[in-house]
Structure 1
Amino acid sequence: MRKQPFTVVYEDNHLLVVNKSAGILVQGDRTGDKTLTDYCKEYIKYKYEKPGEVFLHPVHRLDRPVSGLVVFARTSKGLERMMELFRKRDIHKVYWAIVKRKPKEESGKLTHYLVKDEQRNTVTAHEREVPGSQKAELNYKRLGKLNDHWLLEVRPITGRPHQIRVQLASMGCPIRGDIKYGFTKPNADASINLHAFHLVFVHPIKKEKLFLRAGLPAEPFWEQFLEFEDVKAKDQHLDNTYSG
């Protein structure tokens, strides 16, 4: 049975936030494969019996092999204000990543300068600024170990393409399944074990604070790590603390 491309996490007149399955594109590329945007437009059209074209735009992206939260705007006002929140970094993002190699430090901050090769769709990380590079920063913390793998909580400060993948790999800790950035073998379903777990932001129209959470993928390897999810659920101070 084919897995669902997404589940709805939050929905109102202005926003649709979904938990994306790994393997689904957010927006179209040269493969021409059906996108998360297409699936979500169909969902809105069917649910609200909307005639004509549905207005729905992703506010940000997740890489195809990554699972987790994606925010769509359902109105032009919502889109404009959400884009502004991302630009100002007024959105707190929390990811979970599974790596094979234990990071030396329990927690830390990584700063790199990233250069994207558009042709190959790969990013290289540099310790110092180089021509055409963009500064990338994230904080990470080890949450625990299960079966020779380590679970890391990652909080990106910037939002660069492939940032978490290449920065963790540069630390010697490529994400499980991510052969593009140095992991030894792919996952059977071509996913990587990186999950956009939490988003915290003030609703751009209603002005209330949203704590959004995407359950871990229903997949045997991820499900081993569910015991760490309880710790996370109790964390209501996401903007300034780590769970655990």
Structure 2
Amino acid sequence: MSNRDSNRVHPSVPILFEDNHVLGVAKPVNVPSQEDATGDPDMLTILKQDIKERYNKPGNVYLGLVHRLDRPVGGAMVFAKTSKAASRLSEAVRSRNFHKQYAAIVHGIPSKPSGRLHDFLLKDTKTNTVRVVPKGTDGAKEALLDYTVLESKNGLSLVLIELHTGRPHQIRVQFSHAENPLYGDQKYGSKVNQAGQQIALWSVRVGFPHPTTKDEVNILSTPPAVHPWSQFSMDALMRTLQSQ
């Protein structure tokens, strides 16, 4: 089940799905998922205010943060409109019944047309960076994703990624470690990217059992028609998603 329309809660935040329990939107790039030290407008605050105004709700509005997207990453994002929905969606995340797919543009051509990246990641909280470390390293967490190369041209490849674990910076770190850093990623691909480039990573599908009906919900979001996305066929990407 999916629901897409042109309604917007904010000039740059399209609504992709909404009912009494779940709100799915397309997060713009460079907007934090929740309040951070910058004090910049964040998704949780923007959406709470919108619900308050659209439904004329008095007092505080409940909205649960189910998952996060890194600040420079845009695309499909899901929020819970009730505490019961938040609990059930969080359980779906823990039991890996909450499916997340991303599109990314990487430098070069991955060694296999499709495959799995399986690493162990360690985060340095002082520098807010993550690196691949040997299995068994104290504090390291398992990171697992599957990918398919959809198209390659001009030294870049469009890949579709199924994320199985939700580690900080996971996709960016794993592809950099595989020597295919993401286009525009200054943190993990500074040798091949230029300052000011926008990272080419987009949340294209979030799928999960509805917290009350248990029907499968699939929320889709198309990457923007700007460089470098515009070099590749987004129609082919979305057809691949819809066929799954």
C-alpha displacement of 1:235: 4.3
Does residue 235 of structure 2 align to residue 229 of structure 1? yes
Does residue 196 of structure 2 align to residue 208 of structure 1? no
SS at match of 1:25: coil
C-alpha displacement of 1:52: 1.4
Cα distance in 2 between the residues matched to 1:65 and 1:233: 25
C-alpha displacement of 1:5: 3.8
Percent sequence identity is 39
C-alpha displacement of 1:166: 0.3
Q: TM-score, normalised by structure 2?
A: 0.90
Q: Find 2:147's aligned residue among 121, 132, 140.
A: 140
Deviations, residues 114-160 of structure 1 (Å, cap 9, x unaligned): 11111111111124231110001111111102333110111111111
- Contact kept? 1:58, 1:70, Cα under 8 Å: no
C-alpha displacement of 1:220: 3.8
Does residue 193 of structure 2 align to residue 185 of structure 1? yes
Which residue is equivalent to 1:163?
A: 170
SS at match of 2:38: coil
Which residue is equivalent to 1:119?
A: 126
Q: Find 2:93's aligned residue among 67, 70, 86.
A: 86
- Contact kept? 1:4, 1:21, Cα under 8 Å: no
Letter in 1 for 2:143: A
Q: TM-score, normalised by structure 1?
A: 0.90
C-alpha displacement of 1:187: 6.1
Which residue is equivalent to 2:15?
A: 8
- Contact kept? 1:23, 1:191, Cα under 8 Å: no
Q: Which deviates more, 73-82 or 97-106?
A: 97-106
Letter in 1 for 2:141: Q
- Contact kept? 2:223, 2:234, Cα under 8 Å: no
SS at match of 2:172: helix
- Contact kept? 1:60, 1:71, Cα under 8 Å: yes
Which residue is equivalent to 1:45?
A: 52
- Contact kept? 1:106, 1:142, Cα under 8 Å: yes
Deviations, residues 217-244 of structure 1 (Å, cap 9, x unaligned): 243432332x243353354453xxxxxx
Q: Which deviates more, 43-52 or 213-222?
A: 213-222
Cα distance in 1 between the residues matched to 2:136 and 2:202: 29
Cα distance in 2 between the residues matched to 1:196 and 1:25: 14
Cα distance in 1 between the residues matched to 2:70 and 2:94: 19
Does residue 119 of structure 2 align to residue 100 of structure 1? no
Does residue 202 of structure 2 align to residue 195 of structure 1? yes
SS at match of 1:180: coil
Which stretches in structure 1 are left out of the alignment for 5+ residues?
239-244
CA distance 1:177–1:17, shift in 2 (3 Å) = same
Which stretches in structure 2 are left out of the alignment for 5+ residues?
1-9
CA distance 1:203–1:230, shift in 2 (3 Å) = same
Letter in 2 for 1:137: L
Letter in 2 for 1:43: D
Does residue 171 of structure 2 align to residue 129 of structure 1? no
CA distance 1:5–1:123, shift in 2 (3 Å) = farther
